[in-house]
Chain A
Amino acid sequence: MTFSIKRSIAILQKDYKDVSKNLFVGSSIFMPLVLAALYGRLGVESINEFYMIFNMTFCLVAAYVQCSLIAEEKEKNTLRGLMLSPASTVEILAGKSLLSFIATVLVIAFAAFLIEYKPENILVISIALILSTVFYIGLGTVLGLVTKSVMEASVVILPFMAIFSFGSFLTVFAEKYPILKVAEYMPNSQLIILASEVQIGASLADIWFNLLVILAWVAVIYILVVIVYRKRMMD
C-alpha cells in the first residue's frame, strides 16, 4: 500500500479553509496565546507555569481541534465521502492530523516566545514537545471517533482537559495520598519532569526514561485509534 502525500495535503487544505471559517473551533487555537501574553506580562519564570500553558495548548489545540474536526466530519456525514474516495485510512487520518499538528507547533513556538521560555537543550525539548503533540492528536482522534457531534466532543473533552492541563498538580499531594503518585506517569507530568531536568543541565541520555514513558502513551493511544476506527467506521 502506497501513501499519497498529495491526498493528505488536499485534506489539510480543505481543513484549513474550513477551520478558518469556523469561529468556534478557530478561536480555541488562540486561547493559549492570550494566556501566554498575560503570563508574559506577569513575568512567569518557573517550568511548572511555562508548561501549564504548553499542556493547555496540547489540550485545546492538538486534542480539541483534532477531536472537533473528526466529530464534525461524522456529524455532517462528510467522513463517508472521504472513506469512499481513493484516500486510505492512514491518508485521511494523516491529512486530518496535519492541521492540528502545524497549529500546535506554531502556537507552542509563539507562546514560548511570549513567555520568554528559553530551554537549555532545545533539541531534547523539541523531541519531547513533538512526541507530546503526537500523543494529544491521537487523544483528539479517539475522542472525535467516539463522539457524534462537535457539541458532544466539546463536552467529552472537558475531563481530559482538566486531567492533562492541571493533573500534574496532583503529584503535590502524592505524599499524603500515595495513589496520586500514578499522576507522575501521565504525559503532561513527564513533560514537566523532563523540562525541569533539562533546565538544570540534563542531556538526552539523562531523560530517556521520561521520553520512553511519553512514547508508551503515544503507542497506547494509536493502538486505541486503530481499534476505535475499525469499530466505529463500519456500518
Chain B
Amino acid sequence: MENIIEVSGLAKLFANQSALKDVSFQVKKGETFGFLGPSGSGKTTTIKILTAQLAQTDGTALVFGVPASKLKEAGYRKKIGVLTDNSGLYARLTVHDNLKLYCDLYDVPHTRIDEVLDMVNLKDAKKKAISKLSKGMLQRITLARAFLHKPELLFLDEPTSALDPVNSKHIYKGLESLKEQGTTIFLTTHDMNEAEILCDRVAFLNDGVIQLLDTPKALRQKFADHTLTVELADGSKEIIDRGPEGAEAMYNYMKESKVVSIYSNEPTLGDIFVEVTGRKLS
C-alpha cells in the first residue's frame, strides 16, 4: 500500500532543547495512525513539521511523496486538513460565516456546511455566534472545519480533548465515516481508549523518541501475560494459564458448573505505555 507520510531520522531542536530525536515511521494510505504520548513528548511538533508550520533540524519528512515544506503550495493545502490544539475561529462571526470563509478558501460549495455540521451533531448551532458556544462545541466546529474540504490526509491534534463521552462518540462516528471514504488520518492523543477505538497502528512517543510502533492488537498480545481470569459462582476469581495446565483446571471448573465468566488478561495500551516508558499519560 502507498505511503502517504514517510518520516526518517526526524529531529527538532528548540534552542538547545531536543523536542524530537531520530523519529522514523510511515503512514499508509487510508490508515488511521495514532501518535501517542504525554504532554510535551513531541506530538504537536511532529504535526507542525508535517504541515509545513515548522522546519525540522534534521532528517526527512515526506508527505504525498514531497518534502513537507512544499505543502505550503495551494494544491497540497487542499489535500490536507488540520485540527490544531487551538480553536482559531472568529468569535464575533456565526458558525455558518466561519465555515463559509473556509468553503471559499478551499473552493468547496456552501452546501457542504450542513453536511459537516450534521457529522459533528451541530446543525442547530449554524446561526449561533462562535462566542456563544461551549468549549466542546468549539472543538466540534474546529473539527468540522478541518474536514470541510474532504481532505485526503487529516491531521488531528487531540481531537476530543475538550469533549464529554457523548460528543466524543459523535466525533468517532464522523472519523470512521471519513476513514470509510478513504481519508488517511494522523491522530495525536494521550487518550488510550480513543487510540484503541480509532487507530489501525499506534506509535508511542516519549521524550521525542518512538519507543514502540505496531497495531493495538499486536501490542496487547506482545505484552499479554498469557493468562485468563475465571470468575466463579462463589464470587472468587482464579487466574489460570492459557497452556495445557490451565486447560485442565478450566475443564474441572466447567464440569462442576462453577464458571460465571472468563476473560483474557490483555493489557490496555495505557498499561503498555507505562510499562515501556515508566511514565503515565496525562
Contacts and interface: CB of A to CB of B under 8 A. Distances in A.
Interface of A: 1-2, 4, 6-7, 9-11, 13-14, 17-18, 21-22, 76-78, 80-88, 234-235
A108 to B, nearest CB: 27
B177 interface: no
A131 to B, nearest CB: 30
Contact of A81 (B55, B75, B92, B145): B145
Nearest to A10: B104
Given A13-B104, A86-B74, 4 more contacts: A4-B74, A17-B93, A76-B88, A78-B88
Nearest to B82: A84
Interface stretch (B46-54, B117-125, B269-277): B46-54
B119 to A, nearest CB: 19
Contacts of B90: 14, 18, 76, 78
B206 to A, nearest CB: 22
B55 A80 contact: no
Contact of B91 (A2, A76, A81, A87): A76
Interface of B: 48, 51, 53-55, 72-75, 77-78, 82, 84, 86-93, 97, 101-102, 104-107, 145
Q: 10 closest pairs, A vs B, by CB?
A: A10-B104, A86-B74, A86-B77, A81-B88, A21-B92, A85-B105, A77-B86, A14-B101, A235-B54, A77-B88
Given A78-B89, A84-B77, A10 B101 contact: yes
Contacts of A1: 73
A85 B106 contact: yes
Contact of A234 (B53, B89, B105): B53
B12 to A, nearest CB: 10
B67 to A, nearest CB: 16
Contact of A235 (B48, B74, B92, B93): B48
A6 B86 contact: no
A88 B76 CA distance: 12
13 contacts: A6-B107, A7-B104, A13-B101, A14-B90, A17-B92, A18-B93, A77-B84, A81-B88, A81-B145, A84-B51, A86-B78, A88-B74, A234-B54
A14 B93 contact: yes
A84 B105 CA distance: 10
A86 B97 contact: no
B229 to A, nearest CB: 48
A78 B87 CA distance: 8
A87 B74 CA distance: 7
Contacts of B91: 76
A202 B158 CA distance: 65
Contacts of A82: 105
Contacts of B104: 6-7, 9-10, 13
B193 to A, nearest CB: 28
B87 A77 contact: yes
Nearest to A79: B88
A38 B48 CA distance: 53
A172 to B, nearest CB: 44
A17 B96 CA distance: 12
Contacts of A14: 90, 93, 97, 101
B161 to A, nearest CB: 16
